[in-house]
Amino acid sequence: MPPKKLKSALNNLLSAQKEKQKKSEKQKRAQQWEQERRKKQSQQQTQKQKTPYEFNDKILLVGEGNFSFARSLVESVVHGGDNITATCFDSEEVLAQKYEDESKDNIQVIEELGGTVLFEVDATQLEKCKAIKQRKFSKIVFNFPHAGAGIKDQDRNIQSNQVLLKDFFKSAAKLLQSRVEGDENDGEIHVTLKSGQPYDLWSIRTMAKSTDLLRPKTAFPFVPSLYPGYAHRRTLGFKEGLSKSGNEEIIDKKPKTYVFVRSQVMQDEIDKSKEGMAKKRSVMRDMQGPNKKKARTSSHPESDED
Ligand SMILES: C[S@@+](CC[C@H](N)C(=O)[O-])C[C@H]1O[C@@H](n2cnc3c(N)ncnc32)[C@H](O)[C@@H]1O
């Protein structure tokens, strides 16, 4: 190749390489920018969201795993354990086997900060627990309930979880605070579930309604990062090498907290809002009345002649 052509070919090659490099740098910058944007967005969303638990709430937690949620509430969310009763289904010995030191440490902190921890509490038979049955709560919380029966058949598995939910609802409804009975506010039941199959097939709202005692009030996303230290656990406990640490088990499943109140409370709210709407309509009618008349008279000036 003549040297002139060689030089121009080389130049072309060099500028093509430069172009390629520029493009890849641009792409990298765009990716970094997008990552930053997403990080900021998720930080903003977390900041915007608040936990539904406050210092003066009287909270009963059932079906705790390693007690990390209870500890987080006491330590970081409501800042104090006086109003918190945290319970689990297992005996103290079984719990220690399942979760080893993590549950022991969590329980120690909860108790040191004034909280109460109870073992062998069946969420479907709360009336049988002496320490609980006479009390009333503003929030009764069951995070990620699961019958854990290990049933492979999907339909039977769903049924066993529906029975757990329904029996829990029946039992817990009786322990809710009630304004009619002189309590400061009406209590709520909070149940958090993963979204998607098979959880959506549990039909949690139908289960609550079928008790005739409860009605769904609202639902919102459950944000694990609002509960520092909370580490979700499966019913069988933590198995090194098999279980995932942190909250990978739930984060991808878009967990949701469903809120239920006693049927009468919901009915009262519906009645109140209907009343409010009716009042609003009547005020609007009153405001429109004279204008309408005016409009009519002005559009029919001849009627003035009568
Ligand atoms: C998937 S684990 C979730 C544990 C914990 N709540 C969490 O968020 O990490 C399901 C829990 O439901 C509990 N459970 C199942 N049946 C129960 C019952 N009848 N009463 C109370 N807890 C029950 C199990 O003991 C287990 O701890």
pLDDT tens digits along 238-281: 666 656 666 887 888 899 999 999 999 998 888 888 999 999 99
Please write the tens of the pLDDT for every residue from 28-44.
Answer: 998 888 888 887 777 66
| Cα 64 to ligand 1 centre (Å) | 6
Residue ranges of the domains in the chain?
A: 59-264, 269-297
Lowest average pLDDT, out of 37-41, 67-71, 302-306, goes to 302-306
Cβ–ligand 1 distance for 164 under 6 Å, the answer yes
Q: What's the mean pLDDT in 150-156? A: 85
| Cα 107 to ligand 1 centre (Å) | 16
Q: Which range in 38-52, 83-97, 235-249 is most confidently predicted, on average pLDDT?
A: 83-97
Closest C-alpha residue for ligand 1 atom 14: 63
Q: Which residue has the higher pLDDT, 269 or 107?
A: 107
Element (H, E) at 170: helix 154-173
Q: Among the atoms of ligand 1, which is closest to the Cα of residue 61?
A: 6
Cβ–ligand 1 distance for 65 under 6 Å, the answer yes
Q: Among the atoms of ligand 1, which is closest to the Cα of residue 146?
A: 10
Three-state DSSP state, 262: strand
| pLDDT over 90, % of the chain | 67
Helix ranges (DSSP H) in 174-303:
204-209, 248-251, 263-299
Question: What is the CATH number assigned to the segment(s) 59-264?
Answer: 3.40.50.150
Mutate to test the pocket of ligand 1, among 59, 60, 61, 64 (most ligand atoms within 8 A of CB): 64
Cβ–ligand 1 distance for 89 under 6 Å, the answer yes
Cβ–ligand 1 distance for 255 under 6 Å, the answer no
Cβ–ligand 1 distance for 253 under 6 Å, the answer no
Write the DSSP assignment of 4-64 as a string of letters.
HHHHHHHHHHHHHHHHHHHHHHHHHHHHHHHHHHHHHHHHHHHHH---S--TT--EEEES-
| Cα 63 to ligand 1 centre (Å) | 4
Element (H, E) at 143: strand 139-143
| Cα 178 to ligand 1 centre (Å) | 26
Dist. CA 76–CA 58, nearest whole Å = 16
